[in-house]
Structure 1
């Protein structure tokens, strides 16, 4: 025991002194081990800090109150709720009868001794420095202790008078106003003084105005009602404090009054599932939560972190081997002075332990510091504040231990190799010649094929992402095992290269024991980056495809929500004046009844128009039988699936008019970017253009029924009969299937409507723009629209905006950091090990620039080989995961069809991240080569000839 202790103590001292003496090489190895630790620890702290605890969420939701109460909208009927208070059902069955017409009794729901604070939210328009801006109106006494934590004050103070308001910092940035400015609401002449600036911790990008209860909503609703405009739409909830907290029994009592409760005590200590009556109700259906996000997180985390650890092991081994070779004379002296193989192994292993421990400390500290430094930027990027700086000591300790253990394990092979060398070989520096293994490539090829087959099975047959991850990992290890053979294949390209890159490539092939692990390390890091990028780009493509754009990107629609269209001209002039309009397409609607009837008006003498769907075009799934049941109830699942794909059962969104048709010309096709010459010719010839195939009959006509008697139409509807009215047929052209019409069922040219005797009225226009309208331009337009005095539906299509995920961001940055770092460090080791070759070049008269270019190409060659192989290997887990999700969604889709439902077929694309691959293939090798060339001295230092 005593000898073991002293031998290891001596080995640690030798290793520490050797590391300190060879600072450059030690720093290189330390950086190699510490780099992934920086990424892992930073990702861990970032994710943990961004995840709010239940207490933090409650502070932002209910402040310092014990509960938040709200009328759940069931007319005061008793309800059953879940512990979170965000889901409820009625306690009674109202399937055959309407809900009660009333409100929940909030006073009766309050326990004795409760104190209440009203929190009301609505919307309003305010005057800004640029024009008019739509904001969220919140009436809450923010200075009340119960509201503490819900709004974070940044400057000034919260209002304490009825003529004062506070605003969010995002509102100030949008409006151009500042603290101390006067704020005016549309419809009110009285100004409000901005006394404070605050932010919503969970929604930093919200434009909100805070006022005292009733200070804005009451006078504003009165003024807007007098002008015939809609009010603020304010809805109220109530913050409550109760001595002893709001218990589950109190929640159940409030539920009997139709009141839903979000309780601090219940959320911090939720009741058992058996005690929640909602979960036991027969009408309750637990749809569960989507596992896609969790699957993506776990798969990405397992892939990137697993490959990062593989990168450490792969690169650490040759790093210590290089160190052992650089210290071979010292190790030979140990053997010459009586040291046996055990002592030599201890010295090399101690080097791994020392550097691993140092890397653990440095990496963990830098990771925590990196998260702390980037926290403000991450919060602004996500649009929400994190909770407290969450350090998990056990998790950070486990990450640090990984560095120590990895450093120790990585030194095992170099330690064994160094101990087997004879004393003479160690003192003379002769490396000897070793043949490459012929078994390893065969094992690697088998592992690649088997791993790919397992991943394919997991993605096509099974829906378990663990199988995909396991197969991908096995295939990854197979590629690593194949790396020495693949490096040899790369070497055959040297005959076509100039001198310096040819020397670099041949050096890499000749020293495969050093090159192969370095290439494999870069391979593992790049594979992690590509895997994350593949999933992220594919998922964004899926979300982009699911996004329902109302117009082409940058286009604008300004339509009158009601009235007879007399304000359409003024609206058109305002849009053309304030926005960068290119093409204007005026549109109208078909009217029925006396002049002046607005859309959906039920005034005396006002009717409506509807499109008559031909009997042959009616969807069989939607036909209703005498007993009120649908035809799909009696169909077999196979028949439902077939009809769900029938064009007659195609779903559609609601249009901008009651018929889904608009009156317009070919300019509308240009604005909607519909390139169909046949449609333009049809409009010019007085034919309607249909985008919804069921509307067109076999005679290529659209039939429109004009209903003048609304009461008779309602009676006919109850009797399941067609509404009485005059039917007019219009000649029509059916646009090709798949034409994107942005919610319009068809276009009727004015000449066709006039020829058919249909009355029309303008409703506004569609516009294409030269550039995307800016926020000041839109605010100016809102102000001009307000002056028109009509309700206007204004939409500017900004396009799809992807969701921001802190987890995927952390993993992507982490994987990219490892990729760049591994490439640089691996090639740095190659340069260190090839120092003798560089001195030989200088000795035979090679110019100084050859030393720089050779070093640069050595780095570039290693990086390029690793990036090429890693890009191919990283696609497997990313593609496999997407296939797994595709199969899961297709199963859900088939179940929906079997039940008689209709929906679009799932679209789960697999998108190759070409931009990421291009950046990796070009920037990483080029950057590594240039960096190595820049840091390499043109002339090497003179060295003493080693003794033979």
Structure 2
């Protein structure tokens, strides 16, 4: 043990001296190793800070109270799994009034209650440019029980009806400040602003009212904060459950909670595992060229150690000590920088997430893992140069010759075998939806490429005989000095692989999101629902005269090209108490044979193969049923001329137009009238009618039917929407101004502008491509610079024998082309293959754990990103040629 420690101590001292002698290379390697450590420290501290403790979560939900209770029914409920805990029969006697006094009578003596509404109901407010919807909460800030739920920034909390406090975001939106006033749209009330507040759990636009502003209803009940002397007990919860009170205690109580209904969360393929693992692996490959060049520079020094009795094990230890030292040098500043960035970035993250974090907490165990990760990364990056150095010929190294470099056949076979094993492992991971196996397969495949790269470089050296002088020398130099060239090429390959995989995956996500999106109208078009309040109660359609005036007002505000009134259906006889609809009946042959997610593996495979069991994208739309003879189809769909002509002809012949071909059987669809009233839904007998499927344009409706066909079904028609086709995308200010103007016509009228957001997604992909290109270019520049530093003597020799500066620049350009070009080609191949495996794994995981089965991520190649990746070697070559010094000092050979 003592001998082992002494040997390592000497090796570490040599490594420290080497790092101080070559500060630039050491700083670069330390920075590369420290980059993932910075990210890990930032993520760890941020996660720990935003991962609220149970007490912090409870304080935001219930302040200082012992529990928050909801009482809206007298029927007994059951929060615990013991079926005998509460009676299953409703209590006898009249319903209890649900108010403060009744609740206090059911609680132990000395208890306190505070009524509130923290649900965030929507409230329409007037803004300087129009109207906006804001969330409203009702909390008494003067009550000690609410302490911690709301942060008072300035002024005071509202103490009575007619007073409000605003969040800073709401104050900006409404153009108000403390001491000013705001106006509501509903009821047209003026409210005094008495303070600025902040809800730590929600930083959006919020208005705080005093609970006295609520209209209390003893039958409907509500929500209360409660404080109990001695705290909430299981027995008390069961007693309150008996009378219909749900209790959410501050501290988890003993007992077996009932299982909650399954939610939407799914345990999908752990993409984070794959991403983090690949980042660490790519950092190792990025650092490897620096260690390879360091080993090349220390060949003579290490050969002298061997000539004086140093064993191969000691030589390896000296090189590995470089990795340890540089790993620690990169980790310590990386950890400090990551913690600092977490502290500085916290306000921005809080704004982005829309919620405040908890107390600032450092994650010691995660930071320790970061330190170990950095040391391991340095060791792995130095491993191959260490093994190569320990096997070098001492005499050849002392004489300054490079020796004969050939790739051994067995290593080529090993590399090809690793590539095959990696492909097989990735394929198995997609079937098993196993992220660890997928990561192992991707890393193994890349390692196979790394092992084969020296042989590939040697082959390129042979092919370079037909090239001009400078590229021929660059090819020959790379072939002879494979120990430095191969890691540099592998480093570029690693970065290109990561960027290509990320780009393809994000592009697939974008394409799938677009498939899910169901726009109501073409981009930029506006719709206004033509509804108004009925003086006798309920709602009614806007009359023709009001609609005409509304049309003119819209044209004054928006850049309108054309408008049209789109009709919807109604009951045959106007009745405010009835609602009429028309449903499309899905044929049995188009229904999934499984009503719920199958658990049997055989049935799961059957469901995955059956497209009918995949998530339905075509049901539900904005317009629903449109009553038209085809006149307005061009405006609301933007379909092709041929498609519109056939759809119009079908409508005028008594057929209907649908957008989902699954409903059509032998040219017909089944439709069923539905009439809803206080007694419930009354579904009529389905009727078969001829149908035409509209396949082009925007499908913002389920069904288009003519007036005559609708009358045969016992239904009528009424104006539903005013659609405005615009010449450009309206601004947010124009939309708010329009909504404000609509108040002149109806309290219920509200405008919506179609914004799909496709441009934003496209811009995001382009930004990602440029960022990936910059990282790839930086990696290529680093690797090329290291290779150029190693070949500095060759450039000096060229200058000594009379080579012009242009020749020397062209040689640097060729060296960069070999490294960046070969690395990019390999990276594209591995990245596309890795993306294919990753997408297949995610699709498999979702098909096993999500029901109905969602759309598969498509394998769509982002050609813009790949084009930028292909241009990177060209940019690297031009940069190398421009930055190469014209005159180099003569070095000793």
With normalisation by structure 2, the TM-score equals: 0.81
C-alpha separation in 2, matches of 1:706 and 1:405: 68
What is the CA-CA distance between 1:435 and the residue it aligns to? 1.4
Question: Equivalent of 1:844, from 801, 810, 813?
Answer: 801
Change (3 A) 1:493 1:905: same
What is the CA-CA distance between 1:549 and the residue it aligns to? 3.3
C-alpha separation in 2, matches of 1:514 and 1:883: 36
What are the within-5 Å matches in structure 2 for residues 901-912 of structure 1? 906-912=855-861
2:645 is matched with which residue? Answer: 678
Kept in 1, the 8 Å contact 2:769–2:868? The answer is no
C-alpha separation in 1, matches of 2:629 and 2:96: 43
What is the CA-CA distance between 1:139 and the residue it aligns to? 1.9
Query: Is it true that 1:576 corresponds to 2:575 in the alignment?
Result: no
Query: Is it true that 1:862 corresponds to 2:819 in the alignment?
Result: yes
What are the within-5 Å matches in structure 2 for residues 605-644 of structure 1? 619=587
What is the CA-CA distance between 1:586 and the residue it aligns to? 0.8
2:446 is matched with which residue? Answer: 476
Match of 1:798, SS state, is coil
C-alpha separation in 2, matches of 1:328 and 1:160: 81
Kept in 2, the 8 Å contact 1:666–1:683? The answer is no
Count, aligned residues? 851
Kept in 2, the 8 Å contact 1:691–1:739? The answer is no
What are the within-5 Å matches in structure 2 for residues 720-799 of structure 1? 734-736=692-694, 741-748=699-706, 760-792=717-749, 794-799=751-756
Question: Equivalent of 2:525, from 525, 533, 555?
Answer: 555
1:355 is matched with which residue? Answer: 326
Query: Is it true that 1:209 corresponds to 2:207 in the alignment?
Result: yes
2:243 is matched with which residue? Answer: 257
Change (3 A) 1:474 1:405: closer
1:113 is matched with which residue? Answer: 110
Match of 1:251, SS state, is helix
What is the CA-CA distance between 1:335 and the residue it aligns to? 5.9
Match of 1:141, SS state, is coil
What is the CA-CA distance between 1:833 and the residue it aligns to? 1.1
Kept in 2, the 8 Å contact 1:349–1:412? The answer is yes
What is the CA-CA distance between 1:540 and the residue it aligns to? 4.1
Kept in 1, the 8 Å contact 2:35–2:334? The answer is yes
What is the CA-CA distance between 1:125 and the residue it aligns to? 1.6
2:77 is matched with which residue? Answer: 79
> RMSD value over aligned CA atoms?
4.8
Name stretches of at least 5 consecutive residues in structure 1 with no aligned partner. Answer: 84-88, 95-99, 222-233, 624-628, 630-636, 897-902
C-alpha separation in 2, matches of 1:492 and 1:797: 60
With normalisation by structure 1, the TM-score equals: 0.77
Kept in 1, the 8 Å contact 2:291–2:385? The answer is yes
Kept in 2, the 8 Å contact 1:859–1:932? The answer is yes
What are the within-5 Å matches in structure 2 for residues 62-461 of structure 1? 62-71=62-71, 75-81=73-79, 92=88, 106-107=103-104, 110-120=107-117, 121-142=120-141, 144-160=143-159, 162-188=161-187, 190-204=189-203, 206-215=204-213, 217=214, 236-266=222-252, 271=254, 275-276=256-257, 278-279=258-259, 286=262, 289-292=265-268, 295=269, 298=270, 300-332=271-303, 344=315, 346-415=317-386, 417-418=388-389, 421=392, 424-459=395-430, 461=431
What is the CA-CA distance between 1:397 and the residue it aligns to? 1.6
Question: Equivalent of 1:565, from 538, 542, 555?
Answer: 542
Match of 1:788, SS state, is coil
What is the CA-CA distance between 1:516 and the residue it aligns to? 1.3
Q: Deviations over 1:306-335 (max 9, x none)?
A: 233333444544433322332344445556
Change (3 A) 1:343 1:580: same
C-alpha separation in 2, matches of 1:492 and 1:262: 76
Match of 2:490, SS state, is helix
C-alpha separation in 2, matches of 1:940 and 1:115: 85
Change (3 A) 1:148 1:101: closer
Kept in 2, the 8 Å contact 1:662–1:744? The answer is no
Change (3 A) 1:739 1:33: closer
Name stretches of at least 5 consecutive residues in structure 2 with no aligned partner. Answer: 532-538, 596-602
Change (3 A) 1:522 1:783: same
Q: Deviations over 1:334-376 (max 9, x none)?
A: 5677767666555444433322221221332233333334443
What is the CA-CA distance between 1:140 and the residue it aligns to? 1.6
Change (3 A) 1:36 1:677: same
Kept in 2, the 8 Å contact 1:444–1:481? The answer is yes
C-alpha separation in 1, matches of 2:610 and 2:3: 84
Change (3 A) 1:858 1:178: farther
Match of 1:214, SS state, is helix
2:888 is matched with which residue? Answer: 940
- Between stretches 685-694 and 480-489, larger displacement belongs to 685-694
C-alpha separation in 2, matches of 1:885 and 1:824: 34
1:917 is matched with which residue? Answer: 866
Q: Deviations over 1:135-189 (max 9, x none)?
A: 1122222354433443344555443454432222332443444555421112445
Q: Deviations over 1:697-748 (max 9, x none)?
A: 98979999899xx99x979x87x8769xxx9x9x966234687532341143
Change (3 A) 1:53 1:544: farther
C-alpha separation in 2, matches of 1:736 and 1:867: 45
1:666 is matched with which residue? Answer: 631
Kept in 2, the 8 Å contact 1:671–1:767? The answer is no
What is the CA-CA distance between 1:563 and the residue it aligns to? 0.7
Match of 1:574, SS state, is helix
C-alpha separation in 1, matches of 2:702 and 2:853: 18
Kept in 1, the 8 Å contact 2:475–2:818? The answer is yes
What is the CA-CA distance between 1:265 and the residue it aligns to? 0.6
